[in-house]
Amino acid sequence: PGLKVFDRGFTNTACVESAITFIDGEEGKIKFRGYDIEYLYDNHDYEEVIHLLIWGHLPSNEEKQSLRERLLAELKTPQSVVDAIRAFPPQSSTGSMILAGLAAFAALDEGTKKLHSQAEPYYIGNMKNTDAAIIRTLAAIATTIALVYCHKRGKTFTEPSLEGSFISNVLKMMGREDKGIEKCLERLWILYADHEMTNSTAAFLHASSTLTDPLSSSISAIVSAYGPLHGGAIDLAYQEFKAIASVKHVPYLIKEVKAKRQRLFGFGHRIYKTVDPRTKFIREMIDEQVRNPLRSRVPLLEIALEIERIASTDDYFISRRLAANADLYGALLYTALGFESDIIVAMASLSRVPGPMAHWRESMQQKPMLWRPQQLYREGSKIGFPRG
Ligand code: CMC
């Protein structure tokens, strides 16, 4: 009963109060816990930013060391997870394999089991259990993605070590140990570590508002991350760029987009209508890699830049405030680092895990509140049916 406000797609509805990330889409600003993203990018590494987002402050040396040790100790590869992933033909979709790996992890997880076998709440209000689950979830997602990466390529999975950073161990598990790549990801992953109520974080929180466990909620987040309007846009942008094959065909693609026969994947953003502050850094990193003779060439970059050049002077894009998004540039950077397009959404999702974990921890310190949007019932209307 009472007034219902219609807000299709929640473009104007806030459903959480949060002290984690501030975004100003008009000014192009991002702050994590009050720190400008530019400052964090220049002065900190990914593990420090994980700590900042989840536990609210930049860590001391001891806190950073302890976080690293706990994370590395949880990088385990249970046989049932390996079997679940290897049951797929290697050419299967990466997203589906990740979901299976995470489901296998959840089936073994002590917290997930307890949650379903005891009446008292296991996570809400219990920060000890919550913090331990955050570490297990981050580690499980990293291990799953590395296992999937190796299985898809017929590569041997390398066991992680108890030495080095979290990122160096992710690369090691993937068989891609390389100091240059590690240094680059330490910076790139800071930019991706959280983005407040992005669709996948909201999907995570929607599921976890039922008080389910974080590994199962991560399955919802991964499903969302692979959707074409969200992270999955990257796969489609690559297909689009490959299909036009050359910069000389860009005007044709633009014509199709303006006639609404095609969507330009990797362009547009719900929040950023002027500039996305992450793009500048990612472009600098791409330039660094393109100048590095050891790295792959990025022919798709030329196409992306040409599209951006045309879009920046075309009224269709200007009037709708559509520009290349950071996910697109991130994908081109991964390509320059030698990662094939089939693993890019997974890598971007892994770098984002601290975000949902921070928001989940915040929610576990509050009274439970089930997320349950409403609808407006329109009796007899033709909603969803073609007109005429
Ligand atoms: N290509 C062509 N036209 C577009 C695009 C695009 N990529 N994005 C928006 N438009 C048009 C849209 O058709 C509409 O036109 P009109 O006013 O004539 O109806 C207008 O711009 C406003 O679009 P909207 O759908 O109301 O905008 P939104 O804020 O709801 O959509 C978006 C945001 C990301 C879903 C959309 O821009 C899009 O589909 N982009 C392509 C997919 C993509 O790259 N997604 C990754 C987004 S970045 C990371 C993330 O948060 O997921």
CATH number at residue 39: 1.10.580.10
Both 261 and 171 in one domain: the answer is: no
Q: Indicate the burial class of 374 (C-beta count within 10 angstroms; 0-12, 13-18, 19 or more).
A: exposed
CA distance 66 to 60: 10
| Residue identifier of the C-alpha nearest atom 14 of ligand 1 | 320
| Residue identifier of the C-alpha nearest atom 32 of ligand 1 | 269
Mean pLDDT of 19-24: 97
Q: Which of 234, 272, 316, 320 to mutate to test the pocket of ligand 1 (most atoms within 8 A of CB)?
A: 320
Q: Which tokens hold the place of 297? A: 């060439």
Q: Which range has the worst mean pLDDT, 48-57, 289-298, 317-326, 331-340?
A: 289-298
Q: Is residue 74 part of a domain?
A: yes
DSSP 337: T
Both 99 and 208 in one domain: the answer is: yes
Question: pLDDT, tens digit, for every residue of 77-125?
Answer: 999 999 999 999 999 999 999 999 999 999 999 999 898 888 888 999 9
Question: pLDDT, tens digit, for every residue of 184-215?
Answer: 999 999 999 999 999 999 999 999 999 999 99
Give me the pLDDT at residue 387, please.
59
Both 222 and 242 in one domain: the answer is: no
H-state helical runs in the chain: 37-43, 46-55, 61-73, 79-86, 94-108, 110-117, 127-153, 166-173, 179-192, 199-208, 214-225, 233-244, 250-258, 277-291, 299-311, 315-319, 326-336, 344-352, 354-364
Both 185 and 45 in one domain: the answer is: yes
294, HSE (Cβ side, Cα atoms, 13 Å): 6
CA distance 194 to 31: 10
Nearest to 267 by CA among 230, 322, 309: 322
Q: How far is the CA of 113 from the centre of ligand 1 (A)?
A: 40
Q: How far is the CA of 142 from the centre of ligand 1 (A)?
A: 30
**Looking at ligand 1, which atom is closest to the CA of residue 9?**
30
Q: Is residue 166 part of a domain?
A: yes
- CB of 121 closer than 8 Å to CB of 211: yes
Q: Which of 238, 261, 264 to mutate to test the pocket of ligand 1 (most atoms within 8 A of CB)?
A: 264
Both 272 and 223 in one domain: the answer is: no
CA distance 73 to 76: 7
Residues having CB within 6 Å of any atom of ligand 1: 198-199, 229-230, 233, 257, 263-270, 320, 322, 325, 327
Full domain range(s) for residue 277: 233-336
| Residue identifier of the C-alpha nearest atom 4 of ligand 1 | 263
Instruction: Choose, from 194, 235, 276, 327, the residue flagged as catalytic.
Output: 327
44 is catalytic: no
Nearest to 13 by CA among 202, 267, 269: 202
Q: Which of 265, 267, 272 to mutate to test the pocket of ligand 1 (most atoms within 8 A of CB)?
A: 267
Q: Give how many domains the chain has, as a whole number.
A: 2
Give me the pLDDT at residue 235, please.
86
116 is catalytic: no
Q: Is the pTM for the entire model greater than 0.80?
A: yes
